[in-house]
Amino acid sequence: MGGEFDACISAVDFLPREGYAEDILVSRFVSTSELFEPMQGRLAFGASILTISSRTGWRWRLHYDQVQELLKLSSAAELRHFIKLNSIDEARAYALASQGFIAFTNLKTEDFGGRRIHANSINPRQ
């Protein structure tokens, strides 16, 4: 696969199920953001990034500190520790992944300003 991309669209879902908090965060946020990282250098000038998350993410600014912690995690061990330390259950993991997507998209928008790459996150409120 060579050349540049005009767009990157990300939409991942894993519904909350008991005992799956780590899997939810890994599949909905960590793995998707890791897949995106190598692609960002291949986005053409003026390209677009679109992330789609559930309505659980729209209030991410109310959980800013926890979302910022999530963005810094780089290993499964750190993720497990974060879940345990913050008593994150499956429903919170689901919402946090959506909130992380929104924050991640905002960060990318700042990173790509000079290349005129546009990043948007769709996350319905209700």
- Residue 1 pLDDT: 47
Whole-angstrom CA distances from 7 to 4, 41, 89 are: 9, 12, 34
Domain 5-122 has CATH 3.40.50.720: yes
Higher pLDDT, 37 or 97: 97
- pLDDT tens by residue, 7-41: 777 776 777 788 888 888 887 777 777 777 777 77
| Distance separating the N- and C-terminal Cα atoms of the chain | 39
Q: Across the strands, what pairs with 120?
A: 50
- Residue 85 pLDDT: 93
